[in-house]
Amino acid sequence: MATSNISTQAQQSLDALLSKIGAKKLSDAQASSAPKTTLGQEDFLKLMTAQMSNQDPFQPQSNTEMIAQMAQFSTVTGIQQLNMTMSSVQSEIAQNRIATAASFVGRTVLVPGSTALADSTGGISGAVDLPSAATGLTVQISRSSGELVKTIDLGANPSGLVGFSWDGKDAKGNPIGDNNYTVKAIMTSGSTQSAAATDVYGPITEASIPTGNETQTFTVEGVGKINLTDIKSIKF
């Protein structure tokens, strides 16, 4: 019965080809480690180079499939590089968020509230947020006990923020000396009176570090936790 054997010359050619692409014969691979079941981009490059070097120049083989495979490898590589770039951008954004949040701590900001903290001179300042034009506007300032200590007449004003301030002194010019006061605004439109929202200044004592789509929040002394969008003015 006839048997099929690889000729010595054919075996030598096969060994030379395997050597060029850095592959091992089965016996060598079994002796070292388990054989590879998949080929990576580098393996395909070696195989394509070896094939092109050993092909008959008058009857070149088609490299269509290998070229298509290399195009896929290039696409995957591009996606991997894009992912690395996006990871770097996300890291940079996170660092910028931390820096931005830290820069707000200690700043005095104008936010919605009715408890105004006295500044270093003993006075307070804030604003009234008018939803519409008012023919009259007054701000009442009271101590924490409820005692009314000051009424400020701001007159007629258009809609928007209307600022106010008080030096913290009574009618005789003596400092009252409280650390905080309650403010209340009353607007007049024709013959109708109604309460208007007030804003007060206070220092930021704490800043959150948001992740993902979380909202940036701050803690303002005398007011509590507020969102970044609640800040209407910053004192520098």
Please answer whether residues 71 and 186 qualify as being in contact, where contact means their C-beta atoms are separated by less than 8 angstroms. Answer: no
Start-to-end CA distance of the chain, whole Å, equals 101
Give the count of beta carbons closer than 10 Å to the beta carbon of residue 50: 18
Per-residue pLDDT at 122: 95
Per-residue pLDDT at 212: 73
Integer Cα distance of 24 and 15 in angstroms = 8
Per-residue pLDDT at 145: 92
Per-residue pLDDT at 170: 92
Burial environment of residue 129 by CB neighbours within 10 A (0 to 12, 13 to 18, 19 or more): middle
Beta-strand ranges (E) seen in 49-191 are 108-112, 115-117, 124-130, 136-142, 148-153, 160-166, 180-189
For residue 18, give the H/E element and its range.
helix 8-20
84-120 burial code (b ≥16 CB/10 A, e <16): eeeeeeeeeeeeebeeebeebeebbbbbbbbbbbbee
Per-residue pLDDT at 33: 55
Q: What is the mean pLDDT of each run of 10 residues along the chain (236 residues)?
A: 50 60 53 57 68 66 62 71 72 74 92 95 96 97 95 97 96 93 96 97 92 87 94 91
Beta-strand ranges (E) seen in 39-135 are 108-112, 115-117, 124-130
Integer Cα distance of 181 and 178 in angstroms = 7
- How big is the chain by its Cα radius of gyration, in Å? 39
Per-residue pLDDT at 79: 76
Per-residue pLDDT at 174: 94
Please answer whether residues 223 and 115 qualify as being in contact, where contact means their C-beta atoms are separated by less than 8 angstroms. Answer: yes
